[in-house]
């Protein structure tokens, strides 16, 4: 069995979340990481739409439609939450005041290029803040399935989709492994028990070495 979404988020939280960080989570799977913050770790989550210090998702029936994250999911506020306009929000990002971003992706290349905002021929809702995030935040981690629904690899030698950033990804966490980007090589540092290294290589087109 490959890792579930919850297991991927738990791995991301354990490996990446450090006390005192300011963190931006991309829409989709990364938002679930908030459920797995280790005990004793205090961090502040920032959202591009103008909030710092996001609380957990509300229980059913307790939603406030005015409190949403960048993915339009309802969230809660904390006693230390603060609100501001999008100009101030992106000033935080462009000024490199955010320590970590964890994003979804369509493709990541051997050299750490990221494609996550558009598929040619399909409707584009907007590029969001991803380009600013990857260009200015100190550490960029990707959380994604290892393969697309049709089985094609998402960890690739060279991206074929429109790029979000060039050489920006530091680490990739998929449903079968954890990979570090090191210049022109992808290093496997952790894998799901259910898969072999050879299977991971076969399901990728990136250059991968076993660095465990």
Q: Any catalytic annotation for residue 48?
A: yes
Task: Find tokens 């506020």 and name the residue.
Answer: 77
Which is catalytic among the residues 7, 16, 48, 199?
48
The radius of gyration computed from the CA coordinates of the chain, to the nearest angstrom, equals 17
Q: Answer whether 89's CB lies under 8 Å from 48's CB.
A: yes
Instruction: Please give the sequence-ordered ranges of beta strands (E in DSSP) within 104-211, or none if there are none.
Output: 107-109, 114-115, 139-143, 155-156, 171-173, 177-182, 185-191, 208-210
CA distance linking residue 135 with residue 14, whole number of Å: 24
Q: What is the DSSP code (8-state) at residue 116?
A: -
CA distance linking residue 166 with residue 145, whole number of Å: 21
Per DSSP, the three-state class of 173 is strand
- List Cβ neighbours of 73 (8 Å cut-off, separation of 6 or more): 27, 31, 57
Per DSSP, the three-state class of 110 is coil
Please give the positions annotated as active site.
Answer: 48
């Amino acid at each position: 069995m490959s890792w579930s979404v919850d297991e991927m988020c738990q791995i991301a939280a354990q490996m990446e979340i450090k006390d005192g960080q300011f963190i931006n989570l991309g829409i989709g799977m990364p938002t679930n990481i908030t459920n797995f913050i280790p005990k004793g770790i205090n961090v502040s989550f920032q959202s591009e739409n103008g909030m710092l210090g996001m609380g957990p998702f509300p229980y059913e029936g307790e939603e406030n439609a005015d409190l949403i994250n960048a993915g339009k999911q309802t969230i809660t506020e904390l006693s230390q939450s603060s609100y501001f306009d999008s100009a101030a929000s992106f000033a935080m990002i462009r000024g490199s005041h955010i320590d970590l971003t964890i994003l979804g992706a369509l493709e990541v290349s051997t050299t750490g290029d990221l494609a996550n905002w558009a598929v040619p021929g399909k409707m584009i809702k907007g590029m969001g803040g991803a380009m600013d995030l990857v260009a200015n935040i100190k550490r960029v981690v990707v959380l994604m399935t290892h393969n697309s629904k049709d089985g094609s690899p998402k960890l690739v030698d060279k991206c074929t989709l429109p790029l979000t950033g060039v050489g920006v990804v530091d680490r990739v966490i998929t449903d079968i492994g954890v990979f570090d980007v090191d210049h022109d090589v992808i290093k496997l540092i952790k894998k799901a028990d259910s898969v072999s290294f050879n299977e991971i290589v076969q399901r990728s087109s990136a250059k991968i070495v076993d660095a465990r």
